[in-house]
Amino acid sequence: MPARKHQKKPSRSHRSTLSLQKTEILINIYDLLPPGRISTFLWHMGTSLLHSGVVINGKEYAYGGHDRRGLTGVYWTKPRTNPPGGTFRCEYLHGFTLAPQNEIDAIIREASEEFLGTGYNLLTRNCNHFTSFLCERLTGEPAPGFLNRAASIGVALPCVVPKEWIEVPDFETADGALLDEDDEGEYESERARMLRLSGDQPRLVGHEERDAADPEWDSEEERRRGGSGKGKGKAPVRDSAGRMLPPAERAPTE
Protein backbone atom coordinates (compact mmCIF):
# COMPACT_ATOMS: atom_id res chain seq x y z
CA MET A 1 0.00 0.00 0.00
CA PRO A 2 1.58 3.29 -1.04
CA ALA A 3 2.47 5.68 1.73
CA ARG A 4 0.07 8.56 2.17
CA LYS A 5 1.55 11.84 1.07
CA HIS A 6 1.09 14.62 3.51
CA GLN A 7 0.18 18.02 2.14
CA LYS A 8 2.51 20.78 3.18
CA LYS A 9 0.96 23.29 5.51
CA PRO A 10 1.72 26.98 5.09
CA SER A 11 4.74 27.76 7.19
CA ARG A 12 4.36 30.06 10.15
CA SER A 13 7.21 32.17 8.83
CA HIS A 14 5.27 32.77 5.59
CA ARG A 15 2.25 34.02 7.52
CA SER A 16 4.49 36.23 9.61
CA THR A 17 5.99 37.72 6.47
CA LEU A 18 2.52 38.58 5.20
CA SER A 19 1.61 40.25 8.48
CA LEU A 20 4.75 42.39 8.29
CA GLN A 21 3.55 43.84 5.00
CA LYS A 22 0.66 45.65 6.67
CA THR A 23 0.92 49.42 6.59
CA GLU A 24 -0.71 51.52 9.31
CA ILE A 25 -3.14 54.19 8.17
CA LEU A 26 -3.34 56.91 10.82
CA ILE A 27 -5.39 60.10 10.96
CA ASN A 28 -4.02 63.13 12.77
CA ILE A 29 -6.73 65.51 13.93
CA TYR A 30 -6.32 69.23 14.68
CA ASP A 31 -8.73 71.72 16.24
CA LEU A 32 -8.87 75.02 14.34
CA LEU A 33 -10.71 76.98 17.05
CA PRO A 34 -8.64 78.88 19.66
CA PRO A 35 -8.10 76.87 22.86
CA GLY A 36 -10.75 77.59 25.47
CA ARG A 37 -14.02 76.44 26.96
CA ILE A 38 -15.99 76.79 23.73
CA SER A 39 -13.57 74.73 21.65
CA THR A 40 -13.32 72.12 24.42
CA PHE A 41 -17.12 71.86 24.60
CA LEU A 42 -17.48 71.55 20.81
CA TRP A 43 -14.70 68.96 20.71
CA HIS A 44 -16.45 66.75 23.24
CA MET A 45 -19.74 67.24 21.40
CA GLY A 46 -18.06 66.16 18.17
CA THR A 47 -18.92 69.41 16.38
CA SER A 48 -15.65 71.32 16.45
CA LEU A 49 -14.01 72.79 13.36
CA LEU A 50 -11.35 70.23 12.50
CA HIS A 51 -8.43 69.79 10.13
CA SER A 52 -7.10 66.31 9.41
CA GLY A 53 -4.29 64.54 7.60
CA VAL A 54 -3.58 60.91 6.74
CA VAL A 55 -0.25 59.53 7.97
CA ILE A 56 1.35 56.87 5.76
CA ASN A 57 4.91 55.68 6.25
CA GLY A 58 6.06 58.80 8.07
CA LYS A 59 4.38 61.40 5.84
CA GLU A 60 1.15 63.23 6.62
CA TYR A 61 -1.03 63.89 3.55
CA ALA A 62 -3.65 66.64 3.57
CA TYR A 63 -5.65 68.80 1.19
CA GLY A 64 -5.91 72.56 0.85
CA GLY A 65 -7.10 75.20 -1.55
CA HIS A 66 -5.27 77.64 -3.83
CA ASP A 67 -5.94 79.60 -7.03
CA ARG A 68 -3.63 77.77 -9.45
CA ARG A 69 -5.67 76.00 -12.12
CA GLY A 70 -4.79 72.40 -12.90
CA LEU A 71 -2.56 72.04 -9.83
CA THR A 72 -3.22 69.54 -7.07
CA GLY A 73 -4.17 70.71 -3.60
CA VAL A 74 -2.79 67.55 -1.95
CA TYR A 75 0.42 68.02 -0.01
CA TRP A 76 2.46 66.22 2.61
CA THR A 77 4.33 67.38 5.68
CA LYS A 78 5.94 65.99 8.79
CA PRO A 79 3.31 64.28 11.00
CA ARG A 80 1.84 66.39 13.81
CA THR A 81 2.97 69.66 12.27
CA ASN A 82 0.30 72.05 13.53
CA PRO A 83 -1.36 74.03 10.74
CA PRO A 84 -1.43 77.83 11.28
CA GLY A 85 -3.79 78.48 14.19
CA GLY A 86 -4.43 74.76 14.73
CA THR A 87 -3.89 72.60 17.80
CA PHE A 88 -3.11 68.89 17.61
CA ARG A 89 -5.91 66.92 19.27
CA CYS A 90 -5.30 63.22 18.71
CA GLU A 91 -3.97 60.44 16.54
CA TYR A 92 -6.56 57.96 15.29
CA LEU A 93 -5.60 54.49 14.05
CA HIS A 94 -7.98 54.07 11.13
CA GLY A 95 -6.77 50.67 9.97
CA PHE A 96 -4.25 48.90 7.80
CA THR A 97 -3.59 48.27 4.15
CA LEU A 98 -1.93 45.22 2.62
CA ALA A 99 -1.17 47.12 -0.59
CA PRO A 100 2.53 47.22 -1.54
CA GLN A 101 4.28 50.57 -1.64
CA ASN A 102 3.90 51.02 -5.40
CA GLU A 103 0.11 50.62 -5.09
CA ILE A 104 0.01 53.05 -2.16
CA ASP A 105 1.95 55.58 -4.22
CA ALA A 106 -0.47 55.09 -7.15
CA ILE A 107 -3.48 55.68 -4.88
CA ILE A 108 -1.93 58.88 -3.51
CA ARG A 109 -1.27 60.09 -7.07
CA GLU A 110 -4.88 59.30 -8.00
CA ALA A 111 -6.11 61.28 -5.00
CA SER A 112 -3.85 64.21 -5.89
CA GLU A 113 -5.35 64.30 -9.41
CA GLU A 114 -8.88 64.08 -8.00
CA PHE A 115 -8.45 66.88 -5.43
CA LEU A 116 -7.26 70.01 -7.21
CA GLY A 117 -6.61 73.17 -5.24
CA THR A 118 -9.19 75.24 -7.11
CA GLY A 119 -11.91 72.71 -6.26
CA TYR A 120 -11.58 73.23 -2.51
CA ASN A 121 -14.82 74.13 -0.70
CA LEU A 122 -14.99 74.69 3.05
CA LEU A 123 -18.32 72.89 3.37
CA THR A 124 -18.55 70.32 0.57
CA ARG A 125 -14.98 69.43 -0.45
CA ASN A 126 -12.49 70.12 2.30
CA CYS A 127 -9.48 68.44 3.93
CA ASN A 128 -11.71 65.98 5.79
CA HIS A 129 -13.43 64.88 2.57
CA PHE A 130 -9.95 64.16 1.21
CA THR A 131 -9.03 62.22 4.36
CA SER A 132 -12.14 60.08 3.99
CA PHE A 133 -11.48 59.48 0.29
CA LEU A 134 -7.88 58.40 0.83
CA CYS A 135 -8.74 56.20 3.83
CA GLU A 136 -11.48 54.44 1.88
CA ARG A 137 -9.21 53.81 -1.10
CA LEU A 138 -6.55 52.32 1.16
CA THR A 139 -8.63 50.37 3.68
CA GLY A 140 -12.14 50.09 2.24
CA GLU A 141 -13.56 52.18 5.07
CA PRO A 142 -14.16 55.98 5.05
CA ALA A 143 -12.91 58.22 7.83
CA PRO A 144 -15.10 58.67 10.94
CA GLY A 145 -18.08 60.94 10.35
CA PHE A 146 -17.37 63.31 13.24
CA LEU A 147 -14.46 64.85 11.28
CA ASN A 148 -16.89 66.66 8.99
CA ARG A 149 -19.89 67.04 11.29
CA ALA A 150 -19.55 70.84 11.45
CA ALA A 151 -19.43 71.07 7.64
CA SER A 152 -22.43 68.74 7.33
CA ILE A 153 -24.43 70.95 9.68
CA GLY A 154 -23.32 73.97 7.67
CA VAL A 155 -24.66 72.41 4.47
CA ALA A 156 -27.96 71.40 6.06
CA LEU A 157 -28.52 74.54 8.14
CA PRO A 158 -26.48 77.37 6.61
CA CYS A 159 -28.44 80.09 8.44
CA VAL A 160 -27.63 78.83 11.94
CA VAL A 161 -23.95 77.94 11.57
CA PRO A 162 -21.73 80.22 13.71
CA LYS A 163 -19.40 82.44 11.71
CA GLU A 164 -16.43 80.93 13.58
CA TRP A 165 -17.19 77.54 11.98
CA ILE A 166 -16.60 79.05 8.56
CA GLU A 167 -14.10 81.85 9.18
CA VAL A 168 -11.51 80.88 11.76
CA PRO A 169 -10.49 83.81 14.00
CA ASP A 170 -6.91 85.04 14.20
CA PHE A 171 -4.84 82.61 16.23
CA GLU A 172 -3.36 83.42 19.61
CA THR A 173 -0.18 82.79 21.52
CA ALA A 174 0.22 79.72 23.70
CA ASP A 175 -0.97 81.61 26.81
CA GLY A 176 -4.09 82.90 25.05
CA ALA A 177 -3.06 86.54 24.48
CA LEU A 178 -3.60 88.00 21.02
CA LEU A 179 -0.42 89.07 19.28
CA ASP A 180 0.19 92.75 18.52
CA GLU A 181 0.90 93.42 14.85
CA ASP A 182 4.60 94.14 15.44
CA ASP A 183 5.10 91.14 17.70
CA GLU A 184 3.02 89.02 15.35
CA GLY A 185 5.22 89.85 12.37
CA GLU A 186 8.39 88.96 14.30
CA TYR A 187 6.81 85.74 15.60
CA GLU A 188 5.67 84.59 12.18
CA SER A 189 8.93 85.48 10.43
CA GLU A 190 10.87 83.44 12.97
CA ARG A 191 8.39 80.57 12.67
CA ALA A 192 8.71 80.57 8.88
CA ARG A 193 12.51 80.58 9.14
CA MET A 194 12.47 77.64 11.57
CA LEU A 195 10.13 75.67 9.31
CA ARG A 196 12.40 76.14 6.31
CA LEU A 197 15.53 75.19 8.24
CA SER A 198 13.90 72.08 9.75
CA GLY A 199 12.64 70.79 6.40
CA ASP A 200 9.06 70.71 7.70
CA GLN A 201 7.74 73.01 4.96
CA PRO A 202 4.66 71.40 3.34
CA ARG A 203 5.23 70.03 -0.19
CA LEU A 204 2.67 69.41 -2.92
CA VAL A 205 2.44 65.78 -4.03
CA GLY A 206 4.38 65.47 -7.29
CA HIS A 207 6.25 68.74 -6.62
CA GLU A 208 8.62 67.57 -3.90
CA GLU A 209 11.59 69.06 -5.72
CA ARG A 210 10.32 72.57 -4.92
CA ASP A 211 12.98 74.51 -3.04
CA ALA A 212 11.80 74.87 0.54
CA ALA A 213 13.87 78.03 0.87
CA ASP A 214 11.64 79.75 -1.71
CA PRO A 215 8.21 79.88 -0.03
CA GLU A 216 5.06 81.07 -1.76
CA TRP A 217 4.68 84.04 0.59
CA ASP A 218 7.19 86.68 1.58
CA SER A 219 6.57 85.71 5.22
CA GLU A 220 4.47 83.34 7.29
CA GLU A 221 2.52 86.37 8.54
CA GLU A 222 1.55 87.21 4.95
CA ARG A 223 0.57 83.61 4.31
CA ARG A 224 -1.61 83.59 7.42
CA ARG A 225 -3.44 86.74 6.36
CA GLY A 226 -3.98 85.43 2.85
CA GLY A 227 -2.05 88.16 1.07
CA SER A 228 -1.42 91.77 2.04
CA GLY A 229 -1.00 93.31 -1.41
CA LYS A 230 2.78 92.86 -1.29
CA GLY A 231 5.12 90.32 -2.89
CA LYS A 232 3.66 87.11 -4.25
CA GLY A 233 0.56 87.02 -2.04
CA LYS A 234 -1.40 89.70 -3.86
CA ALA A 235 -4.94 88.60 -3.01
CA PRO A 236 -6.71 86.47 -0.40
CA VAL A 237 -7.13 82.81 -1.32
CA ARG A 238 -10.79 81.80 -1.61
CA ASP A 239 -12.61 78.52 -1.98
CA SER A 240 -14.82 77.53 -4.92
CA ALA A 241 -17.77 79.37 -3.31
CA GLY A 242 -15.82 82.60 -2.78
CA ARG A 243 -15.20 82.19 0.98
CA MET A 244 -11.80 83.28 2.26
CA LEU A 245 -9.75 80.25 3.20
CA PRO A 246 -8.30 80.08 6.71
CA PRO A 247 -4.51 79.59 6.69
CA ALA A 248 -4.80 75.97 7.83
CA GLU A 249 -6.80 75.11 4.72
CA ARG A 250 -4.43 76.57 2.12
CA ALA A 251 -2.13 74.31 0.12
CA PRO A 252 1.45 75.37 -0.59
CA THR A 253 2.13 76.31 -4.21
CA GLU A 254 5.24 77.18 -6.16
Number of alpha carbons in the 13 Å side-chain half-sphere of residue 197: 6
Number of alpha carbons in the 13 Å side-chain half-sphere of residue 247: 23
DSSP 8-state class, residue 127: H
66 counts as catalytic: no
Instruction: Identify which of 123, 132, 127, 137 has the alpha carbon closest to the alpha carbon of residue 251.
Output: 127
Angle, CA of 60, 240 and 135, to the nearest 5°: 30
Choose, from 51, 66, 94, 129, the residue flagged as catalytic: 51
Interatomic CA distance for residues 225 and 227, integer angstroms: 6
**Length of the chain (residues):** 254
Interatomic CA distance for residues 184 and 56, integer angstroms: 34
Choose, from 66, 94, 127, 129, the residue flagged as catalytic: 127
Interatomic CA distance for residues 91 and 199, integer angstroms: 22
| Phi, psi of 179, deg, nearest 5 | -80, 140
Specify whether the CB–CB gap between 220 and 191 falls below 8 A: yes
**How many C-beta atoms lie closer than 10 Å to residue 83's C-beta?**
22
127 counts as catalytic: yes
Catalytic residue ranges? 51, 127
